[in-house]
């Protein structure tokens, strides 16, 4: 009975999304001219409102109008220049939803929880959707359709990032796990700030205006990142 209910709900969702797509695709789309200075002012206001709401009063502003906040200085070893440091990161929107992370369990949980919260919320409490390999495939298809880009990728090698800490930033031997892609312009100074201001086990938050993130990106599948403030949580975990 539970399985039939789940399939029925999935069918209704898919049909509803198909109908919505047919509705919104009619007619040309008006695209307003992009003003980077205006967008930066909006971003800074959003960041400072968030900091005030969270009670954060001690933070730094670095190049690019990135706000940096030390959450925890860490209790491990000091980080010195020339150290090769491994770190984990979590990228979030201002609403705390994760959009990217080097931690596999967080990426998978984000996708599953989003699907459960938005698609299966009308199911009875005692019915749990199946989230095996087939279930995840269905979830990924649906969440793409509703404008949500899944965080988890089974082709990605979820490992800490590794950089060499130098006075001017990180060195050329930086390595990124397979499938992780590159990084936005505000990511490197955020990592540098973390290594400059934390010991191992410490944690910083970096608030990137959209111009230091994905900017006015219009690539299909990245709609949620367009002109969007991003938060990076960065934690150095070990060095050699």
Q: What would the pLDDT profile of 43-81 be if each residue is shown by its tens digit? A: 999 999 999 999 999 999 998 999 999 999 999 999 999
Structure tokens at 183: 């990084």
Residue with tokens 């596999």: 104
Asked which of 10-14, 71-75, 87-91, 190-194 is least confident by mean pLDDT, the reply is 10-14
| 139-181 tens-digit pLDDT | 555 555 556 678 888 889 999 999 999 998 876 556 655 555 5
Please state the rounded mean pLDDT for residues 172-197: 78
Report the C-alpha gap between 79 and 236 in whole angstroms: 9
pTM: 0.76
Report phi then psi at 154, rounded to 5.
-75, -10
Q: What is the pLDDT of residue 127?
A: 47
pLDDT over 70 (residue 2): no
Identify which has the larger pLDDT, 153 or 197. Answer: 197
Q: If one looks up domain 36-103+158-240 in CATH, what number appears?
A: 3.10.50.40
Residue with tokens 């230091």: 212
The ranges of the chain annotated as CATH 3.10.50.40 are 36-103+158-240
Identify which has the larger pLDDT, 121 or 217. Answer: 217
For residue 79, the 8-state DSSP code is P
Residues 209 and 62 sit within 8 Å (Cβ to Cβ): no
Question: Which H or E element spans position 199?
Answer: none
Spell out the residues 6+ positions from residue 166 whose beta carbon is closer than 8 angstroms to its own. Answer: 81, 82
Residue with tokens 């001219």: 33
Residue with tokens 């925890």: 72
Q: In terms of Cα–Cα distance, which of 213, 227, 238, 57 is closest to 161?
A: 238
Asked which of 8-12, 46-50, 65-69, 217-221 is least confident by mean pLDDT, the reply is 8-12
pLDDT over 60 (residue 94): yes
Report the C-alpha gap between 3 and 18 in whole angstroms: 23
Q: What is the mean pLDDT of the chain?
A: 79
């Amino acid at each position: 009975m539970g399985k039939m209910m789940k399939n029925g709900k999935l069918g209704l969702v898919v049909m509803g999304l198909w109908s919505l797509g047919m509705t919104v695709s009619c007619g040309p789309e008006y695209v307003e001219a992009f003003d980077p200075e205006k967008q930066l002012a909006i971003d800074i206001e959003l960041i400072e409102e968030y900091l005030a709401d969270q009670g954060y009063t001690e933070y730094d502003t670095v190049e690019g109008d990135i706000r940096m906040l030390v959450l925890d200085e860490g209790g491990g070893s000091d980080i010195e220049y020339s150290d090769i440091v491994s770190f984990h990161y979590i990228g979030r929107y201002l609403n705390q939803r994760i959009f990217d992370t080097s931690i596999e369990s967080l990426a998978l949980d984000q996708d599953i929880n989003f699907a459960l919260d938005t698609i299966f919320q009308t199911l009875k409490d005692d019915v749990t959707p199946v989230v095996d390999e087939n279930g995840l495939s269905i979830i990924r298809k649906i969440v793409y359709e509703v404008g949500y880009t899944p965080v988890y990728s089974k082709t990605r090698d979820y490992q800490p990032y590794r950089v060499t800490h130098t006075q001017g930033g990180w060195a050329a031997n930086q390595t990124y796990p397979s499938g992780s892609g590159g990084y936005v312009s505000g990511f490197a100074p955020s990592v540098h700030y973390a290594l400059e201001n934390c010991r191992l086990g410490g944690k910083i938050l970096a608030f990137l205006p959209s111009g230091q993130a994905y900017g006015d990106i219009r690539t299909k599948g990245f709609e949620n990142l367009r002109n969007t403030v991003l938060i990076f949580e960065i934690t150095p975990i070990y060095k050699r």
